[in-house]
Structure 1
């Protein structure tokens, strides 16, 4: 919520990079003294230690129909859901990464109440004798391990909770992280429906005082899962 590429393997999402960069911009504007490390450098992608959290594995259920295209991420998420999670936020498509198989959209709200919401849809293709759905299952598993292990997080950001989730697509999980120095809490929810991966990042914090309060695990996780569930329902209804 890195424009890694698609076709046979539409690459990993940018949501965390967008949310982190926007959070950094806000903190710098408020304090003028916080140093941020770019998430684009290799040194920023060191696996981070994680606090104790649920490690239930997302179970695969059912079998949907493979897709060779996804709808617009901006148009698929219900306006009511976006307005609830990031009221009054500016919406923008990540144009550099749009294609038939890959669509992203972000909602950004700055100020004393910061909210960042990003949605990414990816239709994975069959690769080397592996079906599109099986490719998506493998990719989902890899991303589940990476997210709960804290991969791709900048220094100072820690995983606080991670769990498998049922009832959102055929597989789903949510991982919650906190950047204590910026007072930003973020949840990433990843769901799979056949060969489509739906990834939602929802982050923010309330900065009414110098310390600031990160978005709580409950609020961030429920928000990210709610958005993922909304998109899954839209995809299922148009299958």
Structure 2
């Protein structure tokens, strides 16, 4: 499955938060240098500029077992995590045809406190003389560069933060974007575990007044990473 994973958005890879008039896009950031692996939680969540260069480039910390299939995304994320990040949201599979290698699920709630959460799982196959893990690693790198650079973003949506993350699978990053016109902030967390890519979109905003307030980088990024960690831990426990 080489197609890009932009989870839960009916419009494909980039649009998960297209609902009502909200076009939210969070983008996820690159992994820090090897030294980051030993950083504590507070340090991991310090904002990183997307221009941080080599220091923010995702780096592999190992190679896990390869999988031919992924479980249901709707069933893999813990209900407690989904309820925390998107309370009262409706849950639905977002692919017209789920397959053994690809599964997506979204939790959506609109109104004065808009929240959208999506999880996508992709098991990449070997090809062109490369192993499945090598293919996933290359795809992960391509997606990191695209997310960091804000490719395919709608007009008015800007990358505001990107950073590398350790301790979530073998490679991970989180990117944060803001749609100022819709007052929506979105984080994309992308992680690799062997040949499986786990992509989480978490977006929203509080629209209690005319201006509205986008979900902050801290709230969106931490939420996306919490969901990604939860899914990774489930996959690791069933490897």
TM-score > 0.5, shorter chain as reference: yes
Corresponding residue of 2:98: 98
1:77 aligned to 2:77? Answer: yes
Give the SS at the match of 2:17. Answer: helix
1:11 Cα deviation after fit: 3.6
**How far is 1:159 from its partner?**
0.0
Partner of 2:151, secondary structure, is coil
Contact map agreement 1:10 1:123 (CA 8 A) in 2? no
Q: Which residue of 2 aligns with 1:192?
A: 192
**Could you say what secondary structure the match of 2:18 adopts?**
helix
Secondary structure at the aligned position of 2:172 is classed as strand
* Residue 124 (structure 1) aligns with: 124
Distance 2:186 2:180 in 1: 11
Distance 2:109 2:130 in 1: 41
Q: Distance in 1 between matches of 2:74 and 2:236?
A: 17
1:84-163 to 2 correspondences below 5 Å: 84-163=84-163
Structure 1: runs of 5 or more not aligned: 1-5, 28-35, 40-50
* Alpha-carbon RMSD: 1.7
Q: CA deviation at 1:13?
A: 2.4
- Determine which structure has the larger helix proportion and give its number: 1
Runs of 4+ in 1 over 2 A off after TM superposition: 9-20, 51-55
- TM-score, with structure 1 as normaliser: 0.83
Separation (CA, whole Å) in 2 of partners of 1:95 and 1:83: 22
Instruction: Compare relative contact order (CA 8 Å, sep 6+) and give the higher one, 1 or 2.
Output: 2
Measured in 2, the distance between the counterparts of 1:205 and 1:231 equals: 24
Q: Does the residue aligned with 1:176 lie in a helix, a strand or coil?
A: strand
Query: What is the CA-CA distance between 1:12 and the residue it aligns to?
Result: 3.2
* Structure 2 residue runs without a partner (length 5+): 26-47
What is the correspondence of 1:149-188 to structure 2 with a 5 Å cutoff? 149-188=149-188
Task: Give the deviation of 1:59 after TM superposition.
Answer: 1.4
The total of aligned residue pairs comes to: 209
Deviation at 1:169?
0.1
Q: TM-score, normalised by structure 2?
A: 0.83
How far off is 1:15 after superposition? 3.7
CA distance, structure 2, for counterparts of residue 26 and residue 11 of structure 1: 24
1:155-210, CA deviations, whole angstroms, 9 ceiling, x for partnerless residues?
00000000111000000000000000000000000000000000000000000000
Q: Which of the residues 5, 10, 30 maps onto 1:12?
A: 5
SS in 2 for 1:118: strand
